Structure 1
Amino acid sequence: MMNGQGRVSPGSAAPAEERGCSWLSVWVFLIFALAIKAAIGTFGLWLVLPFCHSSDQPSALQQQEFSEQFSEWECASAVPQGTDRGWMCCPKGWRRFQGSCYFLSTDTMNCAESAENCTEMGSQLVVITSKAEQVFLTEQGGQPQKEINFYIGLFEVDDDQWQWVDKTPYNETAAFWRKGEPDPYPGVNCTAMHVPTKDLNNWNDVEPIAKLHRICEAAAVIV
């Protein structure tokens, strides 16, 4: 009821514009509920992804070209410098070092087959560009009482002219050839890492028909 001065008396009904506030509250509640439902649905998708570690790792892996070849992943919860994304991932069974994933095969193929196999997996024969990487791979490849040779991505394209598979410039001072290697014989134009050995200089040049193991490399997927 209105009094003479136009004010609402205690206990009187509020004007229509004030009663509208209750509808605003309803809309806020509905929007909040929809947001919660969407969040639960997204989290549910994460739970069914075939990750090997925690279930809240992101679904963006399935959108990466390299990742199309694999269904299971292992991810490290770490934020690489210069990025705001929080997972660095490699396919299950691959080994991660810094920003790369490495596959060390258990079967053997010739040189061309090894390169093709890596390509089919969205990778390439490994390109070794640092001592730290050479140390890591030598340690990974070594098995007690067993000698193994792994193809790597270094090829002789002309007489004594060596080139990495991805066109990375070949730096002779940063190469890890065994003593007396590479030898001058024609047709010996592929490169293998010989392990186990205590010496980091463990590269041999080999004939392309040799059936050896291989090391494939691809950039880790960051999501």
Structure 2
Amino acid sequence: MASEITYAEVKFKNASPTAAVEVPPETKKHERHPQKYPQWLPWLISLLLLLVCIALVITLLVAPSSHRRDQPTALQQNFMEWQCVLAVPQDKDQGWTCCPKGWRHFQKSCYYVSDGMMSWVESVQNCTGMGSHLVVINSKAEQVFLSEELRQSPGDNYYIGLSAEKVGQWHWVDQTALNVTAAFWRKDEPSNKDDQKCVVIHRTSERPNNWNDVKCGRHHRICEAAAVTV
């Protein structure tokens, strides 16, 4: 402020009397008292801009994921009636686990055990059309659960999602290879014959080792889908 006053004094000292008279009062007043913004104003503007940027980033990151959670799954689009069970207490974000009415629930999956029979190709299409797939068995616990569920079922053979394009090269319907540590073949199975490239659970065989490779004809099926959490 002192430097500005000194500058003004020098300027008017060197100016002619006529020039000093001709200067409008408003101009003099403006020059003697220049308008100043508060020193904190630029900091406030910077802070507001920073907050706006943070809000935009949060919106871009959070909103799409929330939108995806709100989208119904293919399974939800196919069924109107659901049965729900309370999830484990540790899972605080999701309180209920739901499956379509008539499906069996285990861990994070829902299972459909068919009454009718279809070929392998028809079975794959049928499960897909319901928003699911032929069951992929990943653990002994899952295998034991399914074997127990089939005890009261009417059929003998139930397709699972395991097949071979070439003899002995077994793959699940999700394109993962068979894990030999989680394989549950019957004794002396698989036969590995060229005309037996589909796999079923044989209901009456000793549990849990009850898989059998068979011809891809008409059998019952087990479909699987991820359970819906709400």
Scaled to the shorter chain, the TM-score interval is 0.5 to 0.7
1:37 maps to which residue? none
Aligned runs of 1:161-180 on 2, under 5 Å? 161-180=169-188
Q: Gapped runs of 5+ residues in structure 1? A: 1-59
Q: Gapped runs of 5+ residues in structure 2? A: 1-68
1:184 maps to which residue? 192
Partner Cα separation in structure 1 for residue 158 and residue 148 of structure 2: 13
The Cα offsets for residues 29-63 of structure 1, whole Å up to 9 and x where unpaired, read as xxxxxxxxxxxxxxxxxxxxxxxxxxxxxxx9883
Aligned CA distance change for structure 1 residues 90 and 119 (closer, same or farther; 3 Å): same
Aligned residues: 162
Kept after mapping to 2: 8 A contact 1:147/1:196? no
1:222 maps to which residue? 229
Kept after mapping to 2: 8 A contact 1:62/1:68? no
Partner Cα separation in structure 2 for residue 190 and residue 73 of structure 1: 31
RMSD: 2.0
The Cα offsets for residues 89-145 of structure 1, whole Å up to 9 and x where unpaired, read as 00000000000000000000011101110000000000001111010000101138x
Residue 122 of structure 1 aligns to a residue whose secondary structure is coil
The Cα offsets for residues 156-214 of structure 1, whole Å up to 9 and x where unpaired, read as 12231100111233111210111111113212111000003333111111111x21100
| Bigger Cα Rg | 2
1:115 maps to which residue? 124
State, as a whole percentage, how many aligned pairs show the same letter.
54
2:28 maps to which residue? none
2:149 maps to which residue? 140
1:125 aligns with 2:134: yes
Kept after mapping to 1: 8 A contact 2:162/2:199? yes
Residue 123 of structure 2 aligns to a residue whose secondary structure is helix
Residue 152 of structure 2 aligns to a residue whose secondary structure is coil
Partner Cα separation in structure 1 for residue 226 and residue 89 of structure 2: 13
1:204 maps to which residue? 212
Partner Cα separation in structure 1 for residue 136 and residue 89 of structure 2: 21
Q: Normalising by the residue count of structure 2, what TM-score does the alignment of the two structures yield?
A: 0.66
2:168 maps to which residue? 160
Aligned runs of 1:32-71 on 2, under 5 Å? 63-71=72-80
Partner Cα separation in structure 2 for residue 78 and residue 221 of structure 1: 11
Q: Which residue, 96, 103, 111 being the options, matches 1:87?
A: 96
1:150 aligns with 2:158: yes
Partner Cα separation in structure 2 for residue 129 and residue 81 of structure 1: 23
Partner Cα separation in structure 2 for residue 118 and residue 96 of structure 1: 16
Where is the helix percentage greater, Structure 1 or Structure 2?
A: 2
Kept after mapping to 2: 8 A contact 1:138/1:196? no
Kept after mapping to 1: 8 A contact 2:199/2:214? yes
Partner Cα separation in structure 1 for residue 95 and residue 220 of structure 2: 33
